[in-house]
Amino acid sequence: MPQATYEGTVTVPLADLQPFPGNAKRGDVGTLLASLRRHGQYRSLVVQHVHPPAPEISTDSATHVDAPRRRLVVLAGNHTAQALNLHGAGDCGQPVQDDTGTRPCGVCGNNPAWELTARCELVICDEDTARRINLVDNRSSDLGSYDADALAELLSFLDNDYAGSGYQEADVTRLLAPPPSMEELVDSYRDPEDEDMWPVLRFTVPPEVRDHFYDLTADCLTPGDDTARFQHLLDRVAPTPLGDAV
């Protein structure tokens, strides 16, 4: 498949953009909106520009056919587009506050006339390449990891103002905390009990078998506990002293 070809960077009304059909990633739209408000849209959406096919020349002037429209499909940045949509057009009434004072929202500038738009890098590519770009853009960020020391150092420069960074104070506290000692672990978690070493039965059944199981054990005294239900069933089939174990 040919590679994607960069066509240009344009600002596009959000209403003209199509989300990637079947995008599998579920992003954190709230964190993205907080970032957009604080920093503005620092990264363009990557959008597949599907040009309309050339119009067919018709000699039948009586037949009016709407010209096919271009399609703009968001390959990367679908959740940024959602966050902008969540912001909506016009003044959101939420200026940014930091230790230097108050400044306008990075999305709308607190301008009532702000129109719902996004800055987009348009690329031309075929459908297979579009799918692969959408997949790898989501996947590559999942596969990454962090150098915890470098992350802690970067966060230390924020002077406890984590708004729009995607981090909260509790995250940073956790990051900076030394690993717990054995004594702390024992204090936090009880000593293992015999029951923790018991085998776990886990199996898959058709829904009707599950329903049958629940019907047969409906008179169990602790119906919310499948272990008790299972024991209840065994007791009915063959009561044994082991039945007292649960």
Among the residue ranges 89-97, 130-138, 181-189, 222-230, the one whose residues contact Zn ion (CB under 5 A):
89-97
Applying CB under 5 A, which of residues 12, 46, 107, 155 lies at the interface with Zn ion? 107
Among the residue ranges 25-33, 108-116, 167-175, 211-219, the one whose residues contact Zn ion (CB under 5 A):
108-116
User: Measured from the CB of residue 39, what is the shortest distance to Zn ion in angstroms?
Assistant: 12
Applying CB under 5 A, which of residues 73, 76, 108, 120 lies at the interface with Zn ion? 108
CB 141 within 8 A of CB 25: no
Q: Which of 234, 235, 213 is nearest to 223 (CA)?
A: 213
Residues 225-244 that bind Zn ion (CB under 5 A): none
Rounded distance, CA 150 to CA 154, Å? 6
User: Measured from the CB of residue 122, what is the shortest distance to Zn ion in angstroms?
Assistant: 25
Pick the closer one to Zn ion by CB: 23 or 94: 94
User: Measured from the CB of residue 162, what is the shortest distance to Zn ion in angstroms?
Assistant: 19
Q: Which amino acid is at 152?
A: A
CB 104 within 8 A of CB 38: no
Pick the closer one to Zn ion by CB: 138 or 164: 164
Pick the closer one to Zn ion by CB: 92 or 155: 92
Residue 92 near Zn ion by CB under 5 A: yes
Among the residue ranges 69-77, 107-115, 127-135, 211-219, the one whose residues contact Zn ion (CB under 5 A):
107-115
CA distances from 32 to 36, 151, 170 (A): 6, 19, 19
User: Measured from the CB of residue 92, what is the shortest distance to Zn ion in angstroms?
Assistant: 3
Pick the closer one to Zn ion by CB: 34 or 92: 92
CB 83 within 8 A of CB 13: no
Residue 105 near Zn ion by CB under 5 A: yes
Pick the closer one to Zn ion by CB: 87 or 232: 87
Rounded distance, CA 95 to CA 101, Å? 10
Residue 183 region by backbone torsions, left for phi larger than 0, else alpha for psi between -120 and 50, else beta: alpha
Rounded distance, CA 74 to CA 16, Å? 10
Among the residue ranges 42-50, 63-71, 72-80, 104-112, the one whose residues contact Zn ion (CB under 5 A):
104-112
Q: Which of 46, 37, 53 is nearest to 17 (CA)?
A: 46
User: Measured from the CB of residue 85, what is the shortest distance to Zn ion in angstroms?
Assistant: 13
* Binding footprint of Zn ion, residue count (CB under 5 A): 4
Segment (H or E) for 183: helix 182-188
Cβ neighbours of residue 136 closer than 8 Å, sequence gap 6 or more: none
Pick the closer one to Zn ion by CB: 75 or 92: 92
**What is the Rg, in whole angstroms, of the alpha carbon atoms belonging to the chain?**
29
List of residues contacting Zn ion (CB under 5 A): 92, 105, 107-108
